[in-house]
Chain A
Amino acid sequence: MAFGVLVERYQRRVVGVALAVVHNQDDAIELAQETFVRAYENLSKFESRSSFSTWLYRIAANLAIDFWRREGRHVVLRGEDAENEIGKLPTVEGDSFKEVSRLELSARLKQALEELTPEHRAVILLREVEGMSYDEISEVLQCPRGTVMSRLHYARTHLRTILKDVAGG
Chain B
Amino acid sequence: MAECGEISMMLGAFEDSELEPNEMQEVAFHLARCESCTSILADYSTIGRDLRSIAAEPSLAGFSSAVIARIDRLPQPMLTRIKRFLGRQVDSVGAGIAWGGAAVAVAIMTIVMITPYADQFANRGPQSTAIAKAERAAAQAANQAADAAASEPTMADNDSHADISRLESENHSVAVWSEPRRDTTVIWLPDQP
Contacts and interface: CB of A to CB of B under 8 A. Distances in A.
A72 B178 CA distance: 45
Interface residues on B, range: 35 or more
B143 interface: no
Contact of A19 (B58, B132, B135): B58
B40 A160 contact: yes
A44 B51 contact: no
Interface in B43-100: 43-44, 46-48, 50-56, 58, 60, 63-64, 66-68, 70-71, 74
B47 A160 contact: yes
Interface in A46-64: 46, 48, 51-53
Contacts of A70: none
Interface stretch (B8-16, B111-119, B160-168, B183-191): B8-16
Interface in A29-80: 29, 32-33, 36-37, 40-41, 43-44, 46, 48, 51-53
A127 B52 CA distance: 10
Contact of A156 (B42, B47, B63, B135): B47
Interface in B112-142: 123, 126-135, 137-138, 141
Contact of A4 (B53, B68, B74, B137): B68
Interface string B17-49: 010000000000000000010011011101110
Interface residues of A, number: 54
Nearest to B18: A134
Given A44-B130, A53-B141, A156-B47, A5 B135 contact: yes
B43 A97 contact: yes
Contacts of A152: 12-13, 16
A136 to B, nearest CB: 11
A128 B127 CA distance: 36
Contacts of A134: 13, 16, 18
27 contacts: A4-B64, A7-B67, A8-B64, A11-B63, A28-B58, A36-B67, A43-B131, A46-B130, A51-B137, A53-B138, A96-B42, A96-B193, A109-B47, A109-B50, A125-B51, A127-B48, A128-B51, A134-B13, A134-B16, A134-B18, A149-B12, A152-B12, A152-B16, A153-B12, A156-B12, A159-B47, A160-B44
Given A29-B58, A43-B133, A46-B134, 17 more contacts: A9-B138, A15-B63, A19-B56, A29-B63, A36-B67, A37-B70, A40-B74, A41-B74, A44-B130, A52-B137, A106-B53, A125-B55, A149-B18, A152-B13, A152-B16, A160-B44, A164-B43
